[in-house]
Amino acid sequence: MLKRTLLTLLLAVVLATICVVAVYECNQTDYNITATPLDNAYSISSNLYGIFIEDINYAVDGGLNANLIQNNSFEYTYIVGAEEYAPLELERSFWELDEGCVLTREHPIADTNPTQLKVNISDSWSTIYNIGYGERDVDGGSISIQKGCSYGATLFACGEKFSGSIKISVVTDEGELLTEEREIGLLCSTDYVKYQCEIPAINTGLGKLKIDIIGTGTLYLDSFSLRDTASYGYGLSEWGDSSIRLDLFNCLKELNPSFVRFPGGCLAEGAFSWENDYDWKQSVGSNELRVQKPNLWGYMQSMEIGFYEYFLLTEALGATAVPVLGAGVLCQARGGGELALDIDSPEFEEIVNNALDLVEFANGDVDTHYGALRASFGHEAPFNIKYLAIGNENWDAVYYDRFEVIYNAIKAKYPDIKVISSSGPHAKGKEYDYDWARIRESFADTVVDEHYYVHPDELESFYNRYDSFSRTTNVFVGEYAAHSDYFYWWDIITRNNMDEALRESAFLTGIERNGDLVEMATYAPLLCKYGFHQWAPDLIWFDTDEVILTPSYYVQYLNMNNIGSEYLPLVGSQGQGIYSSLTIDRERGKAYLKVTNTTNKRVNLSADLSSLGDFSVLKHSYIRTNDPKTYNDRGAVKIEIAESAVDITNGKIIYTMPKLSYSVIEIDF
């Protein structure tokens, strides 16, 4: 009886072992790839990966722009022709004002900045507050102050028979000082005078700017700013009164982008009325003289980060500038094609001249008009732009008839500038087909801007999208992202989860394989402030003092920092959830192997790289998850880059990839 029991137990153990082995085997798969001989390698674009900055989701004002004061120049208004689209923000001034304080246009700094605050002081004291950029529906002070930091404050003031001073500080809603108080004596001047000081922080917290006005008479105030003195560009003469929030700047710097596309996107076109057109000339010069206006995303632009600052930022990132200008057609997605400018009109002639003038501003010598203007801002050396995009997500004859005029003017005066054309907002369809036919007929030397926001399944299927494209005209994938769900402005259904990031990494293996055709590619949108999203998902999320990097960010980071100058074809299957690419840099003796596993199975990777000769693995970086819906959030960062070793056996890299993972292997050869 005992012997029979033991036999039964032994049989049970054996069966259990067989079952475990069977389960293990069905949860893993083999993936074998082989690098072809080095003679097969072909050059790919040196500008393959970049970033795209657009002021959507409060990405710039309230984000990159280090100025912590909202409605800093009292110019908040509705977008002309679309007041019903404006959010609640534009119904609020973000200022708390004493009695006797009124907005007026009777004493402007300039015609371009018509509104100012008039303060009538009869009892020798008045106080005003600005609450900064808070989350939607939050009325309290939201200016983030960090103890130990220092903040530079500026404002413009003039008076009528005014005698007195102002005190500047940041306080909590309860009145507790977060910074020291600075008192500045005011000159009795009927012309605006710029006043500035630096204020050390003595506590950490959220608060509001407090301006105590001490004296008698009438005072006019305008153009306030409050900036962390550690923000990028602060105190540098060429940056003037503008600067970039440092933690966001560092996130962009770490991506190592090869180019920066700006300032849009739809924003670059304007919408609903030509009063909303984005004119680059209105975005340069002294901040207090720039034209502030609402953007088509429904909130105001201070223009403190304008074309000049975008050029400076691009230079600071070591990247190539890709400026975008409108084509005389307002945003077609919002019906702007019906408001396109007549080609023979003076207004359209100005659009053409603006494009030519921008090239001169960026590249001209100091003896040219706009080159001298750039130099007067503190940057004598040219920015040497090589690209200029005309239009964004435009299509059909209404666009291309106008594009042709601008294109011809640019090529006549600046033949070396690469002009970027548009194939519309979708990856297929009759408009897309029309645009490509027109391009191949007349503008084959342009770089064609393609945009697509699609379901993760579809983006993954795009891994071979460009394999069969004609090599006569290069492509710029100017905006793309995987979108697993729809969203509403009051609720985010999807926030850059791992499933989306992994499908994006699969897509990018095809971008690298076609890097001879795809000249540039950039994820979009780049930035989103918590509580202010108009679009999701987004690459980087942030609030007043914290930055959250998404799984999609880590995919971009790994790709941008691990890319060679040539693509070396691989022999082995692609698709069905497993994708790979191999780029090399012979001059530096580097190779970069990327493998994506979007499946729920482990992958036994065998990569024969013996054609590289003797090689060693310098680093293996990866991201992984067990749950494809995982995303990073405030207080819950679940996805980060990890590192591990891989084996090399007989010229082969041997590694068992986890399910739902993306690996980048840096190789020395």
- The pLDDT tens digits for 335-365 are 998 999 999 999 999 999 999 999 999 999 9
> Which pLDDT value is given to residue 96?
92
- The pLDDT tens digits for 155-195 are 999 998 888 999 999 999 999 999 999 999 998 889 999 99
Residue 587 pLDDT exceeds 90: yes
Instruction: Specify the length of the chain in residues.
Output: 669
CB 575 within 8 A of CB 507: no
Q: Which of 495, 499, 508 is nearest to 548 (CA)?
A: 495
Residue 155 per-residue DSSP state: E
Could you tell me which residue, 159 or 465, shows the higher pLDDT?
Answer: 465
Enumerate residues 6+ apart whose C-beta is below 8 A from 572: 31, 32, 33, 34, 580
Q: Which of 280, 119, 265, 270 is nearest to 186 (CA)?
A: 119
- The pLDDT tens digits for 527-540 are 999 988 889 999 99
CB 524 within 8 A of CB 480: yes
- Mean pLDDT, range 224-251, rounded to an integer: 98
H-run or E-run covering 10:
helix 2-26
Q: What is the Cβ-side half-sphere exposure of residue 307, based on CA atoms within 13 angstroms? A: 28
Tokens of 669: 């050869």
CB 207 within 8 A of CB 143: yes
Query: Which amino acid is located at 112 in the chain?
Result: T
In sequence order, what E strands does 365-492 have? Answer: 387-390, 418-422, 447-454, 475-482
83-228 shares the fold of 51-66+232-561: no
Q: Which of 235, 151, 241 is nearest to 197 (CA)?
A: 151
Q: Please tell me whether the peptide bond between 569 and the residue prior to it is cis, using omega within 30 degrees of 0.
A: no
> Which pLDDT value is given to residue 99?
86
Alpha carbons 147 and 612: distance in angstroms, whole number = 54
Q: Please tell me whether the peptide bond between 285 and the residue prior to it is cis, using omega within 30 degrees of 0.
A: no
Name the active-site residue from 288, 393, 504, 512: 393
Alpha carbons 179 and 201: distance in angstroms, whole number = 4
> Which pLDDT value is given to residue 658?
97
- The pLDDT tens digits for 311-330 are 999 999 999 999 999 999 99
Domain layout of the chain by residue ranges:
28-35+567-668, 51-66+232-561, 83-228
Q: Per CATH, which fold does 28-35+567-668 belong to?
A: Immunoglobulin-like (2.60.40)
> Which pLDDT value is given to residue 21?
35
Q: Which CATH number is associated with domain 83-228?
A: 2.60.120.260
Classify strands 101-104 and 182-186 as parallel, antiparallel or unpaired.
unpaired
In sequence order, what E strands does 256-334 have? Answer: 259-262, 293-294, 300-301, 320-325
| Sign of the four-CA dihedral 165, 233, 313, 253 | negative
- The pLDDT tens digits for 80-116 are 877 665 544 555 689 999 988 999 999 999 999 999 9
Return the minimum-mean-pLDDT range out of 119-133, 235-249, 361-375.
Answer: 119-133
Q: Which CATH number is associated with domain 51-66+232-561?
A: 3.20.20.80
Alpha carbons 625 and 499: distance in angstroms, whole number = 9
Residue 590 pLDDT exceeds 90: yes
> Which pLDDT value is given to residue 82?
75
> Which pLDDT value is given to residue 131?
94
> Which pLDDT value is given to residue 26?
57
Residue 593 pLDDT exceeds 80: yes
Query: Which amino acid is located at 146 in the chain?
Result: Q
Alpha carbons 506 and 597: distance in angstroms, whole number = 8
- Residue 174 catalytic? no
- The pLDDT tens digits for 466-519 are 999 999 999 999 999 999 876 555 566 667 999 999 999 999 999 999 999 999
H-run or E-run covering 542:
strand 540-542
Q: What is the Cβ-side half-sphere exposure of residue 34, based on CA atoms within 13 angstroms? A: 6
